[in-house]
Amino acid sequence: MPAIKAVAHLSWIAALAIAGCIAALPNRAAAERPSSLPTTCAQLPAKLLGGNIKYANAQIVPANTAPAPQFNNFAGTPPSSAKVPVTYCLVVLSYSGTPANDPTPQNITIYVGLPLNSLDGGTTGSTVDPSFNFTTVEGNWNGRTEGEGGGGCTGNANVNSAGAVANGFVGSGTDGGHGNPADDPHNTCQQGVLSVGHLNRQYIADWVYNGPQQEIIWSKKVAKLYYGKVPLYNYWNGCSTGGHQGYALAQTLPGELDGILANAPAMYWTRFQTAQMWGQIAMYDIAQEVIPAAKLAAVQNAAIAACDKNDGVQDGIIDDPRTCTFNAKANICGQAGAPAAPACLTPTEADAVNVMWDGPRNDSGKRIWFPIDRGTDFQFWDGNVPFGLAPVQFGWDLENPAYYNAGAFPGSYPGFWGNVALNSTVSAPGTVTTYAAVAQAGSNNVADLTDTFDDLDAFRDGGAKMITVVGANDGLIMPRGVINYYRVVAARYAEGSDHDPLIAAGFADRSAHQPSDRFRGVQKFYRLFHAPGVSHCGLGILNHGSLGPWPQSGADFNAVINWVEHGVAPSEVIGSGNTAAPAFIPGAATTLTRPLCPYPQTAVYNGSGNINNAASWRCGGDLERNTPVGTPLSGPPGQPVACYDVLAKFKHEVNGPLDYQGSGVNPAICRGDGPPQR
């Protein structure tokens, strides 16, 4: 795994630690006694202003009211106007570690929401957070911090976005340095390129690393000042970009956090955002159109119907979409079983859909990145305008803002990205480069800044814990990327007879072994839960009108707390969903519950009982040993699913070799991998 970025960030952290800027993992005994006297909310700005803190404001925000405006000299993103059901102290800070004359100066806004201390009317010894019934240690504070992550190219200005402050935590957020209205007014990421050939590295680094790092560091400092106590435990809670930030913190800020919930992490940002253009290019180069949404919805639902029983249960959910080999040609108009016009496909449309399902490959057929899976909504791939961040990522990859011109079908379609061909043999007129070349440029130009794929050595050694839940039908981040990372770190931390990374990733002749044999090392501190039938961050599969099991009411965050504070590693997390609505509806007749299991296990039906009831299921099996049902569109049949996901070597996407070790896969279990067949 690449380590350059980790070393660079750890060196920076070490320098800060020497200067006394980063505390060690909280000393529990010290945390239980006051290190100083509390101070009032009104007194905090004077104690915080100075050095890299260029602006500081604090106010008591009454329950169910929006914060008052900031002072006129505030130049960042204002805090969220969302109302919190309890009265709290809100601190807003502006952080800059760059000189005032820097051409790309930092301006990171940090928000800290503090339950009232005893001086401001809080009640020490009261009970908060019904899930755990914590006893408050000073005022209304439960003694814990909860950093909360953002989404897209921005951060999070809401200190109670996950219910932190209402449950007695110190909640925090950051705008990631993107708060100046002249900088990125519409959360487009477009400021990532200053001019042709010049990335805005400060902007990108502040969003991925510096903003969340400073959020954690300063939220803990503010808590200590306000309550006169250091926190007992420190947590992170985020999804999507918030999950991305959680991985960045685990990899670069060891010792500062005890537990991280990093769901649906956008961790391979450059690679999956680049891949979000694959579908648009496939439709344009193969079918010369944007395939109508109704046709894509029909072929998506046909795939679900065809593969629903791959796991032995008919429930409208494909447990492991990697096993589904449904061919879009079955939906060509006139084929037996195909839908009637206008929902059926033309032959070229079917070819384009199969290529979308197969995912990005180079001229020699080697996989560059992962596809959207069968059963997943095409909504981020099939619009008349490409998904907003995808053409911008092309601009980052090639350091050229001309690619920000996305175009709209049919009038100005395609945008500037129309000069990128699917490959050297499948292309539209006028193309000047290929997808593989763009992907390789992105890997070399910007991925080391954006992609959080380093090791977790220091995080593990510090005793911290991390949980990730990812939807198996996530059309935004491609969940196979998260699984790829988990497989690689499992090989890194394998124990005993599995210490060799290639042996650890093996599948052949291991029938007597349980999945934990290969994953037991990583599962001691980091567990991945895959949620079948779920899209991004708990969204339902919209075109199928359903939501598979996803943790509700903070069940996943509670599992992190229980693991950190009580040593109970989660053997399952109960997810809830709905089989007939696009969002979870408590109490509806079609509500389902099901255990989510530590990867590579999955929920297995007991053989009797209500399939919508978690009591009828148990954790078992081994998703890594699954094989595709039927003949895959690419590669020989019968291999474990991981064999179809081995990538071309990072930074050599155009013609590099397959990197089995980089995907945690033993090549001995794979009989070969070939180009896509349409």
Residue 71 to residue 86: CA distance in whole angstroms: 24
Neighbours of 130 (CB within 10 A): 9
Distance (Å, whole) CA 279 – CA 268: 18
Average pLDDT of 6-20? 31
At residue 367, what are phi and psi to the nearest 5 degrees? -70, 135
Look up tokens 């070939």; give the residue.
Answer: 674
Determine contact, residues 116/89, Cβ cutoff 8 Å.
Answer: yes
DSSP letters, 520-588, are HHHHTTEEEEEETT--GGG--BGGGTBEEEE--TTHHHHHHHHHHHH----S-EEEEEESSSSS--TT-
- DSSP E strands in 360-464: the ranges are 420-421, 433-434
**pLDDT at site 510:** 37
Q: pLDDT (tens digit, 9 = 90+) per residue, 486-510?
A: 999 999 999 854 444 444 444 333 3
Report the alpha-carbon angle 417-418-420, nearest 5: 75
What confidence tens digit (pLDDT) does each residue in 117-166 have?
Answer: 999 999 999 999 988 999 999 999 999 999 999 988 888 999 999 999 99
Count how many residues are written for the chain: 678
Extended strands (E) in 338-482: 420-421, 433-434, 465-471
To 10 degrees, the CA torsion angle through 293, 295, 296, 302?
Answer: 140
| Residue pLDDT, tens place only, 449-477 | 999 999 999 999 999 999 999 999 999 99
Q: How far apart are CA 240 and CA 225, in angstroms?
A: 31
Q: How sure is the predictor about 586, in pLDDT bands with cuts at 50, 70 and 90?
A: low
What number of other Cβ atoms are within 10 A of residue 242's Cβ?
Answer: 28
Of 446, 481, 411, 438, residue with least CA distance to 278: 438
Three-point CA angle 126, 128, 129, nearest 5° = 165
Say what the pLDDT of residue 287 is: 95
Phi-psi region of 575 (alpha: psi -120 to 50; beta: other; left: phi over 0): beta
205 sits in which H/E element = helix 201-205
E strand spans, 196-347 = 198-199, 233-239, 259-263
The mean predicted confidence, pLDDT, of the chain is 89
Average pLDDT estimate for 36-64: 97
In the chain, % of residues over pLDDT 90: 77
CB atoms within 10 A of CB 154: 22
Burial letters for 84-121: b for 16+ Cβ neighbours within 10 Å, e otherwise? bebbbbbbbbbbbeeeeeeebebbbbbbbbbbbbbbbe
SS3 readout for 154-176? CCCCCCCCCCCHHHCCEEEEECC
C-alpha closest to that of 538 among 589, 480, 584, 585: 584
Lowest mean pLDDT among 308-322, 375-389, 562-576: 375-389
Q: Please, where are the H alpha helices in 19-92?
A: 28-31, 44-48
Least trusted range by pLDDT, from 70-79, 560-569, 644-653: 70-79
CB contact at 8 A, 111 and 70:
no
Does residue 29 carry a pLDDT above 70?
A: no
Structural contact between residues 203 and 182, judged by C-beta atoms closer than 8 angstroms: no
**CA–CA gap between residue 173 and residue 110 (Å, rounded):** 6
| Partners of 421 in beta bridges | 434
Cite the DSSP H helix spans in 292-346: 293-307
Calculate mean pLDDT across residues 539-550.
90
179 band by pLDDT with thresholds 50, 70 and 90: low
pLDDT at position 395 over 80: yes
The whole-angstrom separation of Cα 468 and Cα 219 is 23
655: region left, alpha or beta (phi > 0 left; psi from -120 to 50 alpha): alpha
- Nearest in space to 74 (alpha carbons), one of 59, 101, 92, 99: 92
Closest by CA position to 443, among listed 397, 404, 392 = 397
**How far are the Cα atoms of 123, 144, 225 from residue 117, in angstroms, in the given order?**
7, 13, 11
Model-level pTM?
Answer: 0.92
Question: DSSP 3-state assignment of 363?
Answer: coil
Q: Give the pair of three-digit tokens for residue 44.
A: 């905090």
How far is it, in rounded angstroms, from Cα 641 to Cα 628? 7
Greater pLDDT, 96 or 152? 96
**C-alpha span between 4 and 199 (Å, rounded):** 19
Mean pLDDT along residues 27-35: 46
Instruction: Give the model's pLDDT for residue 189.
Output: 87
Ranges of beta strands (E only) in 164-275 are 170-174, 193-195, 198-199, 233-239, 259-263
Could you tell me if 300 and 377 are in contact, meaning their C-beta atoms sit under 8 angstroms apart? yes
CB 246 within 8 A of CB 485: no
The angle at the Cα of 270, spanning 295 to 369, to the nearest 5 degrees, equals 55
- Measure CA of the first residue to CA of the last residue in the chain; give whole Å: 34
Q: Which DSSP category does 69 fall into?
A: P
Q: How far, in Å, are 181, 319, 348, 415 from residue 188 at the CA level? A: 12, 34, 33, 16
Q: What is the pLDDT of residue 670?
A: 87
Please tell me the predicted confidence (pLDDT) of residue 14.
30
